[in-house]
């Protein structure tokens, strides 16, 4: 078992290289976001991030947000969503629950009420299936605010949704008319 602080640092670093900057340590992601586990470990160690297969497995097993996945034989790894680089995760359109939730910080409320929820530099807007998870997401960025998303109405108007391997719901945008702030 590794120490919790170091575990968190390694997990954040994995997010950086598997979602945003693989070039930071000189790895390549295939078109679906996968990279070779042996090469990843070698490159991370060369970069000063002490990691082995057991530690990587522990990070994947204990990450409460299930941000990463191995392929079947654990020879490849990828981030499940949240990429800012061009990756095709192979999501299939899926019907979401009638309501989902989006957690953010209070400082973004005015902007959201003007333009809706935009994906910005990511592939999708991230939505949660429960209030508690959305609140936790919002707390990472300051005073939390949770919006209820009227997904049933969005579906009727032709919007598409996807569910990532770790249960995060994804869509391209959420226009203002489908957003309700929860108090």
Q: Above pLDDT 70, what percent of the chain?
A: 98
What confidence score (pLDDT) does residue 183 get?
67
What is the spatial distance between Cα 98 and Cα 104, in angstroms, rounded to a whole number?
20
Q: Give the tens place of pLDDT for each residue, 141-168.
A: 889 999 999 999 999 999 999 998 888 9
Average pLDDT over residues 35-50: 96
Answer with the one of 79, 110, 140 that is the final residue of a domain. Answer: 79
Residue 24: give its domain's CATH number: 1.10.10.970
Q: Is the pLDDT of residue 28 over 80?
A: yes
> What is the structure's pLDDT at 2?
53
Cβ atoms of 155 and 115 within 8 Å: the answer is no
Q: Report the alpha-carbon distance of residue 170 to residue 114 in Å, rounded.
A: 21
CATH number, position 143: 3.20.170.30
Q: Which domain holds residue 175?
A: 100-182
The chain-wide mean pLDDT, for the chain, equals: 92
Express each pLDDT in 63-119 by its tens digit.
777 889 999 999 999 998 888 888 887 888 999 998 999 999 999 999 999 999 998
User: Measured between alpha carbons, how far is 80 from 34 in angstroms, rounded to an integer?
Assistant: 10
* Average pLDDT, integer, range 29-45: 96
Q: Same domain, yes or no, for 60 and 106? A: no
Residues 7-23 have a mean pLDDT of 94
pLDDT of 100: 97
Q: What is the mean pLDDT of residues 46-55?
A: 94
Is residue 84, in this structure, part of any structural domain at all?
Answer: no
Compute the residue count for the chain.
183
Q: Which phi and psi (to 5°) does residue 135 adopt?
A: -60, -40
């Amino acid at each position: 078992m590794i120490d919790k602080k170091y575990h968190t640092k390694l997990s954040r670093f994995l997010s950086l290289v598997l979602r945003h900057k693989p070039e930071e340590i000189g790895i390549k992601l295939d078109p679906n976001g996968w990279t070779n586990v042996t090469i990843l470990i070698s490159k991370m160690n060369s970069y000063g991030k002490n990691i082995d297969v057991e530690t990587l497995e522990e990070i994947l097993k204990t990450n409460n947000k299930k941000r990463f996945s191995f392929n079947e034989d654990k020879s490849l790894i990828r981030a499940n969503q949240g990429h800012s680089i061009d990756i095709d995760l192979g999501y299939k359109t899926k019907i979401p629950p009638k309501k989902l939730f989006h957690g953010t910080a209070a400082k973004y409320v005015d902007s959201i009420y003007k333009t809706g929820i935009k994906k910005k530099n990511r592939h999708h807007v991230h939505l949660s299936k429960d209030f508690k998870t959305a609140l936790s997401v919002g707390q990472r960025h300051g005073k939390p605010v949770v919006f209820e998303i009227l997904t049933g109405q969005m579906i009727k108007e032709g919007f598409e949704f996807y569910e990532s391997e770790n249960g995060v719901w994804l869509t391209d945008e959420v226009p203002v008319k489908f957003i309700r702030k929860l108090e």
